[in-house]
Amino acid sequence: MEEERSVNDAILKVEKAHTFIGQHHILQGISFESKADAVTVLIGRNGAGKSTALRTVIGLLPPSEGKIFFKGEEIQKKKPYEIARMGIGFVPENMGIFAGLTVEENMRVAMLVEDEATTQRLERALDMFADLRKFWKGKAGNLSGGQKQMLAIARAIVNDTSLLLIDEPSKGLAPIIVDAVIEAINQIKDHSVVVLVEQNFYMASSVGDYFYIMDDGMVVHGGIMEELVHDEGLKSKYLGISKTGD
């Protein structure tokens, strides 16, 4: 019973969060949670506030109202570096690569400690993304879009993160690279909980266990991904996907 509850408990819980960017009220009281051992996908059209939701969780855009709990602890007033050190990894939409550093330096900067466990995680990440080993001493700014995305994900999983926030990993990538990213996320979910922001429904449905649909800064629907896959009405209404046109 105890074991069952821990699996179902939310590792991340966002409660009625409001976030402003300048004078613009972007998140208008969103609530969602991410369950342990699962991938939760925030899905929605452009400008729905999905990326802002992730940036709010990591502390880059602190909420003006509402609460955010990570493993039961309130984090909405903490600084990004404090939140990151609690075990939350973040892969931003633009990948946030340190272009002037080499692939190796990017990875080493991400390693908050260089112990045996981190070294093993580094090797695991490099096994997952073989290209990174190949361009180990090359400038990260010279990598292709897909390789940059791989580096961004590898950097986020090199630490002992229990929650990984990934913002639109498929954006601008060729379909074959998207498949590689899907495979990587499926491997990552064995080690940490993932919250994914995604517009690409193919990717979202391939990796997601739960979903939340966002529209105009609000969460308008949530549930099990399997149900959304078969709900043509919901997909058509909020995601602009029709049975013939997706």
Interface ranges with other proteins (CB under 8 A)? 58-60, 79-81, 84-85, 90, 92, 96-101, 104-106, 108-110, 112, 116, 119, 122-123, 126, 133, 136-139, 142, 155, 159
Compare residues 160 and 215 and give the one whose CB is closer to other proteins.
160
Classify strands 39-44 and 24-35 as parallel, antiparallel or unpaired: unpaired
Residues 6+ apart with CB under 8 A from 120: none
Least Å distance, CB 37 to other proteins, is 24
Q: Smallest distance, Å, CB 157 to other proteins?
A: 12
**Minimum CB distance to other proteins smaller for 66 or for 96:** 96
Pick 155 or 235: Cβ nearer other proteins: 155
Which residue, 136 or 202, has its beta carbon nearer to other proteins?
A: 136
Tell the smallest beta-carbon distance from residue 231 to other proteins (Å).
34
- Select 159 or 206, whichever has its Cβ closest to other proteins: 159
What is the nearest approach in angstroms of other proteins to the Cβ of residue 151? 12
What's the CA angle centered on 109, arms 131 and 137, to 5 degrees? 40
The DSSP secondary structure of 48-61, one letter per residue, reads SSHHHHHHHHHTSS
Q: Quick one: 90 or 238, whose CB is closer to other proteins? A: 90
User: From CA 148, how far away is CA 54, in angstroms rounded?
Assistant: 20
- CA angle, 17 then 19 then 20, to 5°: 160
In angstroms, what is the minimal distance from the CB of 197 to other proteins? 15
Q: How far is CA 73 from the centre of its chain?
A: 20
Burial of 69 (0-12, 13-18, 19+ CB in 10 A): middle
Q: Tell me if 75 sits within 8 A of 83, measured CB to CB.
A: yes
CB atoms within 10 A of CB 146: 19
- Minimum CB–partner distance for residue 202 and other proteins (Å): 28
| Tokens found for residue 217 | 């800064």
